[in-house]
Chain A
Amino acid sequence: MRIACPFCGERENGEFTYLGDASPKRPNFAVDSGESPERVEDAFYDYVYLRDNVAGFMREYWYHGGGCRSWLIAERNTVTHEFRSVTAAPGVGASKPVQAGE
């Protein structure tokens, strides 16, 4: 498996660290959203623990620690290990305001 870093070019995957599925979004409930504790718990349970575990193309986070030290988002087929795209992931990790329960 070789990963085409948008900054460094194609490198072997040993240079990269894997975080996982890029699709779960951290719930961001406003303090006064009035949501029930159960719904908030459900949303965090889903975010922290549940995964689609896709067999096929999956969007996922990779960290190029052996190169430019950028966070990247790759689209990779988990059945064949084929990459479709690798792009920079600016702002990853920042908690963006979203609608309650989104």
Chain B
Amino acid sequence: MKYSIFSLAKAALSGHQGWTRAWRDPAPKSHYDVIIIGGGGHGLATAYFLANEYGIRNVAVLEKGWIGSGNAGRNTTIIRSNYGLPGNTGFYELSMKLWERMEQDLNYNAMVSQRGIINLYHSDAQRDAFARRGNTMRINGIDAELLDAVQIRKELPFLNYDSPRFPIMGGLLQRRGGTARHDAVVWGYARAADQRGVDIIQNCEVTGFVRDQNGKVTGVETSRGKISAGKVGMAVAGSTSKVAAMAGMKLPIESHVLQAFVTEAIKPLIPGVVTFGAGHFYISQSDKGGLVFGGDLDGYNSYAQRGNMPVVEDVCEGGMAVMPMIGRVRMLRQWGGIMDMSMDGTPIIDKTPVDGLYLNAGWCYGGFKATPASGLVFAHLLARDEPHPEAARFRLDRFRRGAMIDEKGQGAQPNLH
């Protein structure tokens, strides 16, 4: 069924009884050309691009729970391409361009909203660093504007401009940045991939790899039986080390918990996304009205999908510091997701030392904005056996070679990225 204003009107006239399910619920076949482990945004996008761009339609996406139940449904929905380092700049702009046409490509309303993202600065040095990043973006054809406090005050009059510790002097604005509806991204890719022949198999946990006598991965053992495959791709950020260990691999990744928060819904207040990096805080407002915000990692290894109170306090203090009026709204919910923290803060999209097994991992806490490009370049790698030009630096061996992409300059300390 194609979604349009006409299908909506027709369904409305019949009391919305006529909607069919958006994707099938198939039983696993015995063989697929490509198996993707992980039914999050990245896995489903990979399957969609394999079928749509590379003509590989005998594909299965295996998900141990339900699709979008991991970080795809836990993030704070921000999209942006304001990166400064070679490797990142082009990749995230590719992603932004795919966001801009996603809804037409998928025939699905993902509520992509380019409402702008502004990074606040508080000192001359920080302004210079932001000017440099903005110039890097503009040289690469990405929009960036450096604003002063007067310009920001017009749009965001409610911020605390005169804090003695972090007075707001201005900000770096990317107008094409914004938000998208995270669940709709998952559902849109699932529906579009399914329409192109991809089997989405939920409640199917991978429990091991099937290897031939040369060690090549030729399939997976799952909770729903053995499935053979020409190639297997992992897109299981948060659980990457656990799945990789089944193939005997040790990776430059740690799993950490990141918390996110939403307040009760209020009338429209915040026009875009505001980040207060100096205070470990960022915020936007969802279309439903809730203020969606977050801060830093808790800082310790965790697979628990829940955090602890000191970071809740720290994030709320950051909010009060930059936007004192936030103290008047009540916090509604707070949750945690498990981040695949890599050793340089940058993802890994590469073949692995194990033949037949491909890796898409290390997204740290920036995976959501990358969803479309991650799917495209991982599909390219799986289909062509060579990296997509925009992901050519996201190699697994870059740590061994000393070719890190460390946007934050923190070194090999995953909880600081």
Contact = CB atoms under 8 A, between A and B. Distances in A.
Interface of A: 1, 12-14, 17-18, 20-21, 41, 45-46, 48-55, 58, 60, 76, 78-81
The 5 closest A-B pairs by CB, nearest first: A14-B310, A53-B241, A49-B252, A18-B300, A49-B399
B343 interface: yes
A81 B301 contact: no
Judged by DSSP, the binding face of B is mixed
Contacts of A49: 252, 343, 399-400, 412
Contacts of A55: 241-242, 255, 303
A54 B310 CA distance: 24
Contact of A13 (B241, B242, B308): B308
Scoring A53, A55, A81 by chain B CB atoms within 10 A of each residue's CB, the highest score goes to A53
A45 B398 CA distance: 11
A36 to B, nearest CB: 15
A22 B415 CA distance: 15
B255 A48 contact: no
A19 B241 CA distance: 19
Contact of A58 (B301, B314, B412): B301
B135 interface: no
Contacts of A46: 250
B401 to A, nearest CB: 10
Contacts of B304: 78-81
Given A49-B252, A53-B241, A13 B310 contact: yes
Interface string B403-417: 000000000111100
Interface residues of B, number: 26
A12 B310 CA distance: 8
A55 B399 CA distance: 23
B302 A78 contact: yes
Contact of A51 (B250, B308, B313): B250
Contacts of A79: 303-304
B310 A52 contact: no
Scoring B255, B300, B415 by chain A CB atoms within 10 A of each residue's CB, the highest score goes to B300
Interface in B384-403: 399-400
A17 B299 CA distance: 8
B190 interface: no
16 contacts: A12-B309, A12-B310, A14-B309, A49-B343, A51-B252, A52-B250, A53-B251, A53-B255, A54-B301, A55-B241, A55-B242, A60-B300, A60-B301, A78-B302, A78-B303, A81-B302
B73 to A, nearest CB: 20
Nearest to A48: B412
A45 B399 contact: yes
A84 B319 CA distance: 35
Interface string B297-329: 001111110001110011000000000000000
Contacts of A78: 255, 301-304
Contacts of B415: 18, 20
Contacts of B242: 53, 55
A58 B251 CA distance: 17
Contact of B400 (A41, A51, A58, A60): A41
B199 interface: no
Contacts of B137: none
A53 B399 contact: no
B63 interface: no
Contacts of A12: 309-310
B301 A53 contact: yes
